[in-house]
Amino acid sequence: MTISVLRIGQRIVRDDRVTTHAALVARAFGASRIYMSDINPDIVRTVRDVCKTWGGSFEVEPTDSWRDILCDAKERGQTIVHLTMYGSRIGDVADEIAANDSVLIVIGAQKVPRDVYDIADYNVAVGSQPHSEIAALAVALDRIQHGRQFDSEFPDAARKIVPTEHGKQVL
């Protein structure tokens, strides 16, 4: 399964760290790319540096139009999953979503336009309480991949963490 993430918007009052974390979680939990609007170029460089050090081919793609990304996804037959507090429970739809070859997960940094709810194939809730889009993304990526994203290593890594019960070991 190929998974991409679309993050709509960025709140000026939030620092760039939240945006960076959205990208890093998408990468670490098995997505191949994230589309972002209103992105600080330093975030793109940070994520590229992480990929050089820790491996993988994750892409950060700036976009001026979330709508174009969604329309392109529809045309290609990609399944669109919008993460929201108001959707179907993740446990009820995770297996159905997992059966798709290509998924685009939409997360919002601010209030998401109504059109997104209508365009999405699935509006999915990871809990029905206020929470972070980053937490929702991590849980959704894990549930639809059944944890398998952690079974393989990132290719071309300059560094690799060796799991140890105590301490740190990095090769």
DSSP alpha helix (H) spans, the chain? 16-28, 41-54, 66-75, 90-98, 114-119, 133-145
**Residue 131 predicted with pLDDT over 90:** no
8 A C-beta contact, residue 16 and residue 116: no
pLDDT in tens, 77-107: 999 999 998 899 999 999 999 999 999 999 9
DSSP, res 111: P
Domain boundaries, the chain: 2-150
Percent of the chain's residues with pLDDT above 90: 78
DSSP H/E element including 105? strand 102-108
Enter the CATH code of domain 2-150: 3.40.1280.10
pLDDT in tens, 13-47: 467 888 899 999 999 999 999 999 878 889 999 99
**Residue 171 predicted with pLDDT over 70:** yes
